[in-house]
Chain A
Amino acid sequence: MTETRGVWHLLLGNLTYNALPFYSAIAAFAAGLVVVGAISVFVLITWLGKWRYLWTEWFTSVDHKRIGIMYIIIAFIMMSRALIEAVLMRVQQAVAINSPGFLPPDHFGQLFSTHGTIMIFFMAMPFLTGLINYVMPLQIGARDVKFPLLNSISLWLTGGGAGLMMVSLVLGKFSTGGWSGYPPYTGIEFSPGVGPDYWIWAVSLSSIGTTLTGLNFATTIYKGRAPGMTLMRMPLFCWTSLCTSILMIFAMPPLTVATTLLALDRYLGMHFFTNGMGGNMMNYANLFWLFGHPEVYILILPAFGVYSEVIPAFSSKRLYGYTSLVCATMAIAVLSFTVWLHHFFTMGQSANINAAFGIATMTIGVPTGVKVYDWLLTMCRGRVRFTPPMLFSLAFIVSFVIGGMTGIILATPPLDYMVHNTVFLVAHFHNMLIPGLLYGMIAGYQYWFPKAFGFRLNETWGRIAFGCWVVGFYLAFMPLYVLGAEGMPRRSQEVFDTAYRPWLLIAMVGAFILLAGLVSLFIQLRVSIKQRDSNRVFAGDPWDGRGLEWSVSAPPPEYNFAVIPTVTSRDTFAGQKEHGQAYHPPQTYQDIEMPKNSAAGVVIGISGAACAFGLVWHIWWMSILGLILIWGTVIVRSFVRDIYKVIPAAEVARTEARWLNHVANVRAVPRELETTPANKGLAESVA
């Protein structure tokens, strides 16, 4: 890298004209797309005059519902980028058989690194955090999370990290060290560029945000439940949220430690993970996977929660084996800390250690198996309707079991030696994460969308999306099992065995179908917004739901519950409907105190991103300024005393009356018509 000197260096650090991505036409095009996209969004918002609206209603909002929606928007934007990268890689491998293809190795390396980093930290994590944010407080009968401003700070730190990922597309090259960033390759000696620095700081921002999120959710669930909502009366989604939060609390600090120590190696020449001088690179593998394995369950448990909500709702049955599901969730959460070593069976520890971790790994299959049976038995003799969320849940059950089988293969150390570092592994973890996480997130998105926006999503496009996601997944990843068994190494920019060609071609087609799946989701959204007037469900209960979140209007009022409900049983709202106690107005309404908006989250997130950007390019003044702004904001905020606003009882009464009047005037819908415009959000009593 060329070094500029003098004033420019003081101002811009290592950032020069050379940082622009003219090394490859594709990279330059992608960078152009990001810049043009950013400018056009900016111009569009200015032209529509929406900045003030966005600032007051969304960016500074501390409402858990708005924050949840913003998280999911980040997830969809980042998913679009990472999925396009996946398609590029699949095409490259399909054409680069004994030929260099169209992506140079360096660029290919960046693609698999950003794809993995984004899909985990900036697609999966925001998606599940968004869903939990939206749904969990409603399910436990709370008005918000316990620390609403901290929630906003977490969102903006994650947003800052995502922003840094997008900037890396325009300025400089990203890491080629994969999403796990193993040193010594990512150390300064072998990767002197800015790539690993981008990775380190983007991931650090997100990991700090996630730690705070875990803290917030756990406190909310432990301390914020409505009266009578004992732990064993919580909907299962809350249980999985709780376990995910606990995992976040314990598993994110190891990641922060790993990235920070790697940064110290790179910036200050220390020797934590260097090759020699007393460093120990195996420490990194331990630290990273001490985070990385629980992370897998951070990702999967919320999806398990979604399935445990969707399957009973669309089977019109109580969830089968609630207690066993709770125990299984907790067991998975605990066991997830005992298996991290299976990510590096081949590192050279003794066979006994490998055996212990291999057995521990297989043990996790037991509680997961319990869950699968519980879901199957929930459907048994139920009134099953094949709506898109249900279809995704069914596809999950089948696909996840296949992934679990290959997991048992990988958990056996001798077999792992055979397929380690091949695309067999790639097939396995995509097999776990696409059905085990993404299907769940999409199912949850489709299931709770009417609650959040007040109208149902288009069913036809939901089914088309489902078809693409399932067919695409099988075509894209089943061939990789074969290729892996044949010994094709993962992360190959070029392959040299023509026998791979047919499988790689099938996988490429699969990747395109997956992309079509994402496009279908966007079309579904567009079509649904157009048809929203005929699909409104203001009454709030389009699926004959069982939890408290369905007992309020859709979208819910800012304060969620006019009167905090008193819970007397599991599936509270289902019980109320059964006993004819739903939709009863309370005797009186009272003033409701809600937290005021705050710009602190935005300032901290942007300052954090600026600090990180300064660190990447050695623009020290920017980093220092960013740090000062972060801590300055925290301190200044601690002096603000006027942090609550009051929603007067009269306004609450008006809002509730409008909704209850509507409920009284709409016709209840039987289940067979729930996917038609006849569904106004009031469920016909089953009894």
Chain B
Amino acid sequence: MSANEVLHAGLNLGATDPKTHAEAGSAIFGFWVFLMTDAVLFALLFANYGVLLSGTAGGPGPAAEFKLSSAFIETLLLLTSSFTFGLASLAMKHGSQPRLLQVWLPTTLLLGAGFLGMELHDFATMLSDGATPSRSGFLSAFFALVSTHGLHVFAGCVWIIVMMVQIAVFGTDARVKINVLRLGLFWHFLDIIWVAIFSVVYLQGLIR
């Protein structure tokens, strides 16, 4: 294996540790497969949302309930968090010390938490309007899709905390590196899902 051959972006194992590199190969591949199952899950929730979009049962519809401004800010928060996670990955790849990693991971965590806070606030507003998940098929589908994404972001936040602790305890050993890499894939994946949610769910508020 030549020294500058990059098999897994973000892992600076190179020729130094072929065994871990081989392990990373299947570890990361397995995680891609997991993301595939998650993508199927979201795809079906999107399809379900599409089918139930017209099932408002006389209750509140998209135009009345979706606040595009707050969805836009949430989008910015999440996209920025993806960027800061990218910086964390670069820090792990190029930095010999985990210090920068311990800067960018908490930043990502804060942005993620900010996103979750705003989303919960949106939900609370909707609930107080009487737009509850049990009001209509449309609202059930909306809450199922958007809060499944929210739960994923929450899981991602917990995972970031776990990784921060592990970096503090173990430094960047091979398993930490592999797991940060997986976490990165997960985090960017959620970003992509959110872009789809913004386009398919929230932008509907403009036309319906």
Contacts and interface: CB of A to CB of B under 8 A. Distances in A.
Interface of A: 146-147, 211, 215-216, 218-219, 222-224, 249-250, 252-254, 256-257, 261, 264-265, 268-272, 274, 276-280, 283, 287, 290, 631, 635, 638-639, 641
Contacts of A216: 30
Given A249-B33, A283-B52, A638-B166, A269 B134 contact: yes
B169 interface: yes
Interface of B: 25-26, 29-30, 33-34, 36-38, 40-41, 44-45, 48, 51-52, 54-57, 59, 133-138, 140-141, 143-144, 158, 162, 166, 169-170, 173, 175, 179
Given A271-B55, A271-B134, A215 B26 contact: no
Contact of A638 (B37, B44, B143, B162): B162
Nearest to B25: A223
B173 to A, nearest CB: 8
A271 B140 contact: yes
Contact of B44 (A146, A253, A635): A253
A641 B175 CA distance: 9
Contacts of A271: 55, 57, 134, 136-137, 140
Given A256-B41, A264-B144, A215 B137 contact: no
Query: Which DSSP category, helix, strand, loop or mixed, fits chain B's interface?
Result: helix
B37 A215 contact: yes
A249 B39 CA distance: 11
A277 B37 contact: no
Contacts of B44: 253-254, 257, 287, 290
Contacts of A279: 52, 55, 137, 140
Given A215-B30, A224-B26, A638-B179, A249 B36 contact: yes
B52 A272 contact: yes
A253 B38 CA distance: 8
Nearest to A273: B137
Contacts of A219: 26, 29-30, 33
A272 B166 contact: no
21 contacts: A146-B30, A147-B30, A215-B30, A223-B26, A249-B37, A250-B37, A252-B37, A253-B40, A253-B41, A261-B48, A264-B133, A270-B140, A272-B52, A272-B144, A274-B137, A278-B52, A278-B55, A278-B138, A279-B55, A279-B137, A280-B51
Contacts of B141: 272
B134 A268 contact: yes
Contacts, number: 109
Given A253-B40, A254-B44, A276-B57, A222 B137 contact: no
Which of A253, A268, A271, A279 gathers the greatest number of chain B CB atoms within 10 Å?
A271
Given A278-B52, A279-B137, 6 more contacts: A147-B30, A222-B26, A250-B37, A257-B41, A635-B158, A641-B170
Nearest to B48: A283
Given A215-B30, A250-B40, A252-B37, A278 B144 contact: no
Contacts of A224: 26
Contacts of B37: 211, 215, 249-250, 252-253
A280 B41 contact: no
Contacts of A257: 41, 44-45, 48
A508 B29 CA distance: 50
Given A223-B25, A253-B44, A254-B44, A268 B137 contact: no
B159 to A, nearest CB: 9
Contacts of A215: 30, 33-34, 37
Contacts of A218: 33
B38 to A, nearest CB: 8
Contacts of A270: 133-134, 140, 143-144
A271 B55 CA distance: 9
B48 A635 contact: no
Contacts of B158: 631, 635
Contacts of B41: 253, 256-257
A640 to B, nearest CB: 10
Nearest to B56: A278
A274 B44 CA distance: 18
Contact of B52 (A268, A280, A631): A280
Which of A265, A270, A290, A641 gathers the greatest number of chain B CB atoms within 10 Å?
A270
A490 B175 CA distance: 54
Nearest to A150: B30
Nearest to B40: A253
Contacts of A222: 26, 29
Task: List the 5 closest pairs (A to B, CB-CB), nearest first.
Answer: A278-B55, A278-B137, A270-B140, A223-B26, A269-B134
B119 to A, nearest CB: 18
B26 A146 contact: yes
Contacts of B137: 271-272, 274, 277-280
A222 B137 CA distance: 42
Given A249-B37, A269-B134, A271-B136, A280 B55 contact: yes
Contacts of B29: 219, 222-223
Contacts of B136: 271, 277-278
Nearest to A215: B33
Contacts of B52: 272, 278-280, 283
Contacts of A250: 36-37, 40
B57 A268 contact: no
B40 A254 contact: yes
Contacts of A287: 44, 48
Which of A215, A277, A278, A279 gathers the greatest number of chain B CB atoms within 10 Å?
A278
B139 to A, nearest CB: 8
Contacts of B134: 268-271
Which of B38, B134, B136, B137 gathers the greatest number of chain A CB atoms within 10 Å?
B137
A272 B103 CA distance: 43
Given A252-B37, A254-B44, A271-B137, A639 B55 contact: no
Nearest to B140: A270
A219 B141 CA distance: 33
A213 to B, nearest CB: 11
Contacts of A249: 33, 36-37, 40
Nearest to B179: A638
Nearest to A276: B57
A276 B41 CA distance: 25
A99 to B, nearest CB: 44
B51 A283 contact: yes
A449 to B, nearest CB: 30
Contacts of A277: 55, 57, 135-137
A265 B57 CA distance: 16
B153 to A, nearest CB: 16
A257 B45 CA distance: 8
